[in-house]
Chains A and B, each alone.
Chain A
């Protein structure tokens, strides 16, 4: 059992998410940075889908009430055990009574704590992920707070992995990752050609409204093609007849909002492109006031990027199994 002493700012339990329910308005939820989440799990001998603790901007303070093997990946929140710094991207043994404390993120926005055996939470619609808007999944459907007690699942081979560290070439440097690749499309016919260029060339800044639902970006205004609004769309030039929003899609009420894992599943704003699956985790590691640039790629490039990420994860897993 892990006892939470301080919950941080927005700490939730997440796995790889909840699929098959989008048509009733249920977003997938799940880890915002799937790469970091998955590597953390691999480091303690879990499957990729085991539930981890996702911390945003500020980490938790927690006491372990049993021995455990843990790994912390993602944003650097300077983790310490009983006051002594521990390395990230490494599996570490903790003992009953040990206190784990993380502070503010110095690089990246989201850190993941995996525990051998996984965080044991009930599955709701097939997933342990927290979706706070309607209060389901994870720990009581909400962000963690002081006094919460998390159970740890049965572990297989975490002990054998203690001390394993991921090679530097597999550890992202979030501070440098300011370009995310997108595929233009969906209803991008609503933007003028000049506005599409602006979207792809401008420096965008992550606003203070950037969370698991969406990343609101600030930058130049985008112009819409003039038209007589079609029946049912509403009067604003950015309005379309309400449609489904892909995860990662960029909607443009005016300034762009990139929809993230807990996004609304549909609505009536023009969506003009989609952040490719391989780069959504990089965007999720951008902090408020950080810059973001979009680079337009085609769907084959998007697929190649995904395969490359899968191969990296496979290489990490193989290295861990082989004992790095």
Chain B
């Protein structure tokens, strides 16, 4: 695999939309790209820096962003004028941010997600295979093992947090030609184990709590992304650990390591392993494979 450059995408004109009288939704692109995501992050960062009166929620998403406003303080049209001005002066090539490269251990083909996915075979495109077998085949891999190798072979960037508190949507940091893509379930499941690692569209996710879900199920992590009681050391400041812009480095582990980490989590002693780095979109686009290697080594 050579170090194929990532070409920045030409984005269409942003679409500014009203979410009733109290939200502004801005679609930067209909398709997912790092360019669209970095722009969403850059603009929402500037909205935060400007501390615009009347903006009460500021939510970057994968290829869009949404602001919630207090219409008694600011009107959507006035905000949209300001957003257009911010957009005009945003150049993501010069935009860098402090981020964390986080080790995320995953037990693939674990017994818990396996039980769940077997239970919901009737809602799946291919009832005779597992989610991993289906995803591997759809993406042109000979077997599940080589598909998992590709999944853990490059880090995944958190491009959005939401759905429920703490759920990170992650986009793998590889050129488009190498990106994995799978459909969501035909009908969403009514159950998913907490800490399940799933994949849908072009996004990996970690489900923070047990609940509904429609992504293909690949494995389960022993670590938490949400700690409502904030007993674990990494959750002292917030009950949610992942932030947009963070980089998750999924790592394949065996059952023994899963149990060992799980014990530390349950004891309240587990701490994430991560390095804080300055992320440069420009350098990443230029040489993603080499840049990722430096990120994972903590040298970016």
Q: Which A residues contact B (CB, under 8 angstroms)?
A: 19-26, 133-136, 141, 182-183, 185-187, 230-236, 239-249, 264-268, 274-278, 299, 302-303, 305-306, 310
- In the bound complex, what is the Cα–Cα distance between A236 and B167 (angstroms)? 22
Q: Is B107 an interface residue (CB 8 A)?
A: no
Given A186-B25, A243-B63, A277-B22, the answer on whether A232 and B203 have CB atoms closer than 8 Å is yes
Which chain B residues (156-196) contact chain A, with CB distance < 8 Å?
160-167, 169, 171, 176, 179, 181, 183-184
- In the bound complex, what is the Cα–Cα distance between A265 and B65 (angstroms)? 12
Residue of B at shortest CB range from A188?
A: B17
A183 touches B166 (CB 8 A): no
- Report A-chain residues with C-beta under 8 Å of the C-beta of B20: 182-183, 246, 248-249, 274-277, 299, 302
- Report A-chain residues with C-beta under 8 Å of the C-beta of B202: 231-232
B181 touches A133 (CB 8 A): no
- In the bound complex, what is the Cα–Cα distance between A49 and B238 (angstroms)? 24
Can you sample 5 A-B contacts with CB below 8 Å? A186-B25, A244-B25, A266-B61, A277-B20, A303-B21
B218 to chain A: closest CB distance in Å? Answer: 16
B163 touches A265 (CB 8 A): yes
Interface centre among A25, A186, A236 (most CB of B within 10 A): A25
A25 touches B161 (CB 8 A): yes
- In the bound complex, what is the Cα–Cα distance between A175 and B17 (angstroms)? 32
Interface centre among A24, A134, A232, A305 (most CB of B within 10 A): A232
- In the bound complex, what is the Cα–Cα distance between A235 and B125 (angstroms)? 11
A133 to chain B: closest CB distance in Å? Answer: 6
- Report A-chain residues with C-beta under 8 Å of the C-beta of B29: 230, 241
Q: Is B27 an interface residue (CB 8 A)?
A: yes
- Report B-chain residues with C-beta under 8 Å of the C-beta of A306: 21-22, 71-72
Tally of chain B residues near chain A (CB < 8 A): 60
- In the bound complex, what is the Cα–Cα distance between A156 and B143 (angstroms)? 70
Q: Is B209 an interface residue (CB 8 A)?
A: yes
- Report B-chain residues with C-beta under 8 Å of the C-beta of A274: 18-20, 23
B21 touches A243 (CB 8 A): no
- Find B183's partner among A187, A236, A249, A264 (CB 8 Å cutoff): A236
B201 touches A241 (CB 8 A): yes
Q: Is B64 an interface residue (CB 8 A)?
A: yes
Interface centre among A183, A265, A306 (most CB of B within 10 A): A265
Residue of B at shortest CB range from A266?
A: B162
B238 to chain A: closest CB distance in Å? Answer: 7
Q: Which B residues contact A (CB, under 8 angstroms)?
A: 17-23, 25, 27, 29-33, 56-66, 68, 71-72, 75-77, 160-167, 169, 171, 176, 179, 181, 183-184, 200-203, 208-209, 211, 226, 228, 238-240, 243-244
- Find B211's partner among A133, A185, A242, A243 (CB 8 Å cutoff): A133
- Report A-chain residues with C-beta under 8 Å of the C-beta of B61: 242-244, 266
B226 touches A134 (CB 8 A): yes
B27 touches A232 (CB 8 A): no
A23 touches B71 (CB 8 A): no
B201 to chain A: closest CB distance in Å? Answer: 4
- In the bound complex, what is the Cα–Cα distance between A265 and B58 (angstroms)? 12
Residue of A at shortest CB range from B226?
A: A134
B19 touches A24 (CB 8 A): no
Given A241-B63, A246-B66, A265-B163, the answer on whether A234 and B21 have CB atoms closer than 8 Å is no
A233 touches B18 (CB 8 A): no
- In the bound complex, what is the Cα–Cα distance between A235 and B208 (angstroms)? 25
- Report A-chain residues with C-beta under 8 Å of the C-beta of B203: 232, 242
Given A23-B58, A241-B30, A266-B59: 18 more A-B contacts, CB < 8 Å = A24-B238, A25-B163, A134-B164, A134-B165, A231-B31, A232-B202, A233-B30, A241-B31, A242-B160, A243-B25, A244-B64, A244-B66, A244-B162, A249-B20, A267-B162, A268-B201, A274-B19, A278-B21
A23 touches B162 (CB 8 A): yes
B201 touches A25 (CB 8 A): no
- Report A-chain residues with C-beta under 8 Å of the C-beta of B211: 133
- Report B-chain residues with C-beta under 8 Å of the C-beta of A233: 30-32, 201
Residue of B at shortest CB range from A235?
A: B183
- Report A-chain residues with C-beta under 8 Å of the C-beta of B183: 234-236
- Report A-chain residues with C-beta under 8 Å of the C-beta of B75: 303
A275 to chain B: closest CB distance in Å? Answer: 6
- In the bound complex, what is the Cα–Cα distance between A268 and B214 (angstroms)? 10
Residue of A at shortest CB range from B205?
A: A242
- In the bound complex, what is the Cα–Cα distance between A319 and B177 (angstroms)? 67
A150 to chain B: closest CB distance in Å? Answer: 21
B68 touches A310 (CB 8 A): no
Residue of B at shortest CB range from A267?
A: B163
A240 touches B30 (CB 8 A): yes
B18 touches A236 (CB 8 A): no
- Report B-chain residues with C-beta under 8 Å of the C-beta of A20: 56-57
B166 touches A25 (CB 8 A): yes
B238 touches A242 (CB 8 A): no
- Report A-chain residues with C-beta under 8 Å of the C-beta of B17: 185-187
B32 touches A230 (CB 8 A): yes
A155 to chain B: closest CB distance in Å? Answer: 28
Residue of A at shortest CB range from B243?
A: A24
- Report B-chain residues with C-beta under 8 Å of the C-beta of A244: 25, 59, 61, 64-66, 160, 162
- In the bound complex, what is the Cα–Cα distance between A22 and B161 (angstroms)? 9
A22 touches B57 (CB 8 A): yes
Given A246-B66, A268-B200, A303-B75, the answer on whether A234 and B162 have CB atoms closer than 8 Å is no
B208 to chain A: closest CB distance in Å? Answer: 8
- Report A-chain residues with C-beta under 8 Å of the C-beta of B240: 24-26
- Report A-chain residues with C-beta under 8 Å of the C-beta of B243: 24
- In the bound complex, what is the Cα–Cα distance between A244 and B183 (angstroms)? 20
Residue of A at shortest CB range from B77?
A: A299
